Amino acid sequence: MRRVALTFLAALCALTGCSGVQQTATRGVAALGDRLSTMDDIVDWMRDTAGECEDVTPQGRDALRGFIGPDNAARFAPYVAEWATCSVSNEFPRVGLVLFSADGQLKFQKSWHDAMTAGVVADGPSFAFGNGFAVSAGALGVSRLGLYWFLCDFTDPKVHRIPADEAGCVFANSEHAHG
């Protein structure tokens, strides 16, 4: 019986690569879910989660300035690999989809926090964030898509918070159960 059990465990280990239990991140962008690393991934995710993402239109840097204003665009643009817009519903006819560059989301957090500390911006961005991407319609992203606000110096104990990669900042979603 012992030999059968050992043979079974050896076979199981060989099949699974002896990887053990995969750890789930509890902080930073990794804790926001699976990383979306292409615009196609984001569009597919939007369609699966929001139900629609029609009329997908790739956009350029100049269009980003026009879409979110020059000050916000200056904060986002250096860290964006690409961005597009799509229509989700009549309520959200044009939603911006931002794909961050490889380490862009981490650098964005630091840049935004530095701007807040310097008094250049007063609050977090109006975007909602996932792992590797952001959605311009923050209310849609947080309330219906399960994404998070990026906030610094935010301590409301009633709101579900995940420590961000940037010290002093969190990803927050009041729609999630506090846990």
pLDDT for position 35: 97
Domain assignment present for residue 153? The answer is yes
Domain assignment present for residue 16? The answer is no
pLDDT for position 23: 56
* Domain of 145, in residue numbers: 29-173
Q: What's at 13, amino acid-wise?
A: C
pLDDT for position 142: 94
Per the structure, the count of domains in the chain is 1
Average pLDDT, the chain: 87
Q: What's at 85, amino acid-wise?
A: T
Domain assignment present for residue 14? The answer is no
Q: Where are the beta strands (DSSP E) in the chain?
A: 54-59, 80-87, 95-100, 128-130, 133-135, 149-152, 160-163, 169-173
Q: Which residues of the chain, if any, have pLDDT below 70?
A: 1-23, 176-179
pLDDT for position 175: 82
Strands 95-100 and 133-135: antiparallel
Domain assignment present for residue 93? The answer is yes
pLDDT for position 84: 98
Domain assignment present for residue 104? The answer is yes
Domain assignment present for residue 123? The answer is yes
